[in-house]
Amino acid sequence: MATKTTTAKSAATRTPKEENALKELFIDELKDIYWAEQHLVKVLPKMAKGATSDELKQAINDHLEQTKNHVSRLESAFESIGEKAKAVKCEAMAGLLKEADELLEETDKGTEVRDVAIISASQKVEHYEIASYGTLKTLAGVLGFTEAQKLLDETLQEEKAADSLLTQVAENYVNEAAAAE
The whole-number pLDDT of residue 19 equals 66
The sign of the torsion formed by the CA atoms of 37, 41, 46, 51 equals: positive
- For domain 18-180, the question of CATH label 1.10.20.10 is answered with no
pTM of the model: 0.88
The whole-number pLDDT of residue 17 equals 57
User: What is d(CA 38, CA 133) in angstroms, rounded to the nearest whole number?
Assistant: 15
The whole-number pLDDT of residue 38 equals 98
User: What is d(CA 109, CA 158) in angstroms, rounded to the nearest whole number?
Assistant: 29
Residues 6+ apart with CB under 8 A from 131: none
Look up residue 25 and give its amino acid.
L
**Residue 7 — very low, low, confident or very high, per pLDDT cuts 50/70/90?**
very low
Tens digit of each residue's pLDDT (9 = 90 or more) over 58-88: 999 999 999 999 999 999 999 999 999 999 9
b or e along 113-129 (b: 16 or more beta carbons within 10 Å of the residue's beta carbon)? bbbbbbbebbbbbbebb
**Residue 177 — very low, low, confident or very high, per pLDDT cuts 50/70/90?**
confident
b or e along 158-175 (b: 16 or more beta carbons within 10 Å of the residue's beta carbon)? bbbebbebbeebbeeebe
The whole-number pLDDT of residue 148 equals 98
* Domain locations along the chain: 18-180
The whole-number pLDDT of residue 9 equals 55
The whole-number pLDDT of residue 10 equals 55
pLDDT at 140 over 70: yes
The whole-number pLDDT of residue 5 equals 41
pLDDT at 3 over 50: no
The separation between CA 105 and the C-alpha centre of its own chain, rounded to angstroms, equals: 23
